[in-house]
Structure 1
Amino acid sequence: MPEPPPGPRRADRSSSPSPEHEGRAARRKAAKRRHGRRGGSHKAGEGAAASSEPEAPLSRTEARRRARARKPSPAVMLSRAIGEVFITTGVLMLLFVTYQLWWTNVRAQAQAGKEASNLQNEWASGKRNPGAFEPGQGFALLHIPRLDVVVPIAEGISSKRVLDRGMVGHYAEGALKTAMPDARTGNFGLAGHRNTHGEPFRYINRLEPGDPIVVETQDTFYVYKMASMLPVTSPSNVSVLDPIPKGSGFTKPGRYITLTTCTPEFTSKYRLIVWGKMVEERPRSKGKPDALVN
């Protein structure tokens, strides 16, 4: 049987790849497809690997430069210091206001209450006080029923000994000396805080003509009726304490009472004055006056 021509045989071998060749091509295509699907993750992995590599050590110059860059500038440090000063100042001011408006009242009211209790105990026990009193010594009680005020009266107007302890003070020294309630004529002058330290005279501006003001001593109740008010005057106007006080409306000698305090509230720029005229002198043996009973 004759052999086939050599030409066609060679052509058949080149056009029909071997199974081994086809297998390699298929594997390459499959690898390409897998590479396309996983390319992103390979890149991410490569980036993570790159980022995890340790950085090269910095030179001294570069390290100092970076340290200076991290350090706050003088302007930033100054602004921080100013802010801290403002905060500290604000806290201190808040504490001071709390002390002035709250704690001084608590303390002074406790001190005044103790002094009033001591006075009443002495009177009940029959212990008699001398006619002249030492500076700071309590000797009477002031009642202002309309304002629900009951406060001790002490000799003198010292802030430390009298006023800051929640009491009202009797003008009893030097050119400001005024009469006592039992004097046949004269002006019984009293001073008291309007704000802080017990603030016994805070609302005396609310008094109206005819309102009773009662001074209670060991032996006697002295009842005054509010007569007039001077809303604003200078602290140097001491004529309001005269035996016939100027501006009160009184024109002849009598038995008067004068209450003085600061105004406007929370300042000491001016003085507020209230005057009263005695209408009754009642021995304690006859009981309380109507002003303290009704």
Structure 2
Amino acid sequence: MRERIPVVTQHNSRGRRAAARGLWTGAEVVVTLGVVLLLLVVHQLWWTNRQARADARHEVRALQREWAQPEGEKAGEEGNEGQSRGQGGGDGTGGRGGSGPGTSGDRSSAGRTAPTGPRRDQAYAVIRIPRLGLAAPVAQGISKRGVLDKGYVGHYPGTAQPGRTGNFALAGHRNTHGEPFRYINRLRRGDRIDIETRDAVYTYTVDRTLGQTGARDGGVIAAVPRSNVKPYVGYTAAGSYVTLTTCTPEFTSRYRLVVWGRLTDVRAR
């Protein structure tokens, strides 16, 4: 009888090492991607808010200091101020030292037309909402880089200026970059919205809200605001209105949340 010799089969250790290296590399990539995503989230939800809020507070203080100066001193400093603040393409209008937002300019002694309103991306007013503890600059335009991402509230071009007949329409971020309109969904009928300018404080009283409408619903910022998507919501008569708009639901930009108010008081500064 022939004796059988046992055969020992050795597994390929080189292949196992290669597989282990592959798994380790894959794990490192996954961890790295996770850290990068976490840093992006922290940047968006924490750092942009921190930076924008600081910039907005600084601008509010700067406006208040500017308004405290006599008109003559303000006019003498306007040229220097314009280089560092309110930058952006000019649109043929002047700076904060004009005859007030939305008013017609007068002829100066040199025969030139005086400023008639704020420049694009220029902060020229302050919005205060006591219920929300909000105080933020209002700038001309709604560009992200020049206005909204700085923590400012943006004024829709073509809509009325504070206190004027028509609709003073505003936009602000609900999440990130200072998120000044984060909690406007908490506003209720009778709440106060103050708009401060160099010349006056305009008080609007919250009157109506629209919890959700389409992002292209231009009717909500019309001179007589009324939703095009939900035409039973809004107004039918001319007046002096304020409109606050922001994105909804939170962390999306699919729809718009709208708050409306009527002008109820004007106080000279």
Is 1:230 matched up with 2:174? no
> What is the number of equivalent residue pairs in this alignment?
214
Tell me the TM-score normalized by structure 2.
0.76
Matched residue, 1:215: 195
From 146, 150, 160, the counterpart of 1:179: 160
From 133, 136, 139, the counterpart of 1:154: 139
Matched residue, 1:3: none
User: Could you say what secondary structure the match of 1:96 adopts?
Assistant: helix
Matched residue, 2:88: none
Matched residue, 1:270: 255
Percent of aligned pairs with the same amino acid: 50
Once the two structures are TM-superposed, the CA of residue 134 in structure 1 deviates from its matched residue by 1.0
User: Could you say what secondary structure the match of 1:146 adopts?
Assistant: helix
Deviating runs (4+, > 6 A) in structure 1? none
Counterpart Cα distance in 1 of 2:121 and 2:166: 22
Larger Rg computed on CA atoms = 1
Matched residue, 1:39: none
Matched residue, 1:80: 24
**Equivalent position amino acid for 2:64 in 1:** Q
Counterpart Cα distance in 2 of 1:213 and 1:89: 44
Once the two structures are TM-superposed, the CA of residue 224 in structure 1 deviates from its matched residue by 0.5
- Structure 2: gaps of 5 or more residues: 1-9, 75-95, 99-115, 228-232
Is 1:103 matched up with 2:47? yes
Is contact 2:138–2:153 with CA below 8 Å preserved after alignment? yes
Matching of residues 1-294 of structure 1 within 5 Å: 69=13, 72-126=16-70, 127=74, 129-130=97-98, 131-172=116-157, 177-183=158-164, 185-247=165-227, 248-284=233-269
Once the two structures are TM-superposed, the CA of residue 73 in structure 1 deviates from its matched residue by 4.1
Is contact 2:220–2:234 with CA below 8 Å preserved after alignment? no
User: Could you say what secondary structure the match of 1:150 adopts?
Assistant: strand
Counterpart Cα distance in 2 of 1:134 and 1:93: 38
Partner deviation per Cα, 1:159-189 (whole Å, 9 max, x = no partner): 11111111100001xxxx2111132x10000
Once the two structures are TM-superposed, the CA of residue 238 in structure 1 deviates from its matched residue by 1.0
Counterpart Cα distance in 2 of 1:78 and 1:240: 57
User: Could you say what secondary structure the match of 1:181 adopts?
Assistant: coil
Counterpart Cα distance in 2 of 1:159 and 1:139: 17
Partner deviation per Cα, 1:64-121 (whole Å, 9 max, x = no partner): x99x626644433322222111100100011111111110011001111111111111
Once the two structures are TM-superposed, the CA of residue 157 in structure 1 deviates from its matched residue by 0.5
Counterpart Cα distance in 1 of 2:214 and 2:18: 51
Q: Cα RMSD (Å) of the superposition?
A: 1.6
Moved more, 120-129 or 149-158: 120-129
Once the two structures are TM-superposed, the CA of residue 249 in structure 1 deviates from its matched residue by 3.1
Once the two structures are TM-superposed, the CA of residue 281 in structure 1 deviates from its matched residue by 1.3
User: Could you say what secondary structure the match of 1:94 adopts?
Assistant: helix
User: Could you say what secondary structure the match of 2:31 adopts?
Assistant: helix
Counterpart Cα distance in 1 of 2:218 and 2:27: 48
Matched residue, 1:49: none
Counterpart Cα distance in 2 of 1:245 and 1:72: 70
**Equivalent position amino acid for 1:282 in 2:** R
**Equivalent position amino acid for 1:259 in 2:** L
Counterpart Cα distance in 1 of 2:243 and 2:42: 31
Is contact 2:189–2:205 with CA below 8 Å preserved after alignment? yes
Counterpart Cα distance in 2 of 1:189 and 1:72: 66
